[in-house]
Amino acid sequence: MRGRGDTSRRKTPPTPVMVPPVPTPATKASIQWNDKNEDGAFTSDELVTVPGIAATPSQNFGRFAYGLDAEITLAIPQVVTAMVYGELYRAKNLDRAKLVADPFGPLGRDAREQGAYVAALLTSHDATVGARYDMYNPDRDSTNPSKPLVPTDFSYATLALVASYGTPNARVVLEYDHNTNHNGRDLMGRPANLKDDALTLRGQVGF
């Protein structure tokens, strides 16, 4: 199957696409050691037999996305141009990067994704300043206590601030990104924000 498209920009419901999940190979029975008391020493009661499983064939499942975007621009000639724009989308079983959707895999259910961003720009003849906030949740049901897994928030968010100065052929850009996630752990082992902020300075030259 081959396809190409920008699902995040769609404004009308697309036709669901059937995607076969990756089949799993057969496994042999094995013995696993679980260090229950975490003392680093082996005891016979910490041995667990893991039975083998049969191979599973690939199966089709549907995926789709709905998107909505808007933009407002206000221009004062020879002075400044202001632009505010944003986008919101919802999807099911579409993720292929952060949390790969597979209703027949370990998750055992559909994954409902949601993402959005809002941004603002002020542009003059020589300078531009802007701000953008975006968020993405690869599994909107992950915090639902009625689901069979431990409730965990998988969402990501970024607040970006940018300023640039220069001519159309040469420009210096300074950008700061404040990233929020749940990839870290606190002293109690609970999910916490993993510091991942970035400050970027770059130059652009056209020739």
The pLDDT tens digits of the residues spanning 77-86 come to 888 999 999 9
Amino acid at 58: S
Q: Tens of pLDDT along 26-44?
A: 888 888 888 887 787 878 8
**pTM for the full predicted model:** 0.68
In whole angstroms, how far apart are CA 191 and each of 64, 149, 180, 197?
A: 30, 15, 12, 18
Check pLDDT > 50 for residue 87.
Answer: yes
Q: Give the bridge partners for 122, in sequence order.
A: 82, 129
Check pLDDT > 80 for residue 181.
Answer: yes
d(CA 132, CA 159): 6
Q: Are 137 and 115 in contact (CB under 8 A)?
A: yes
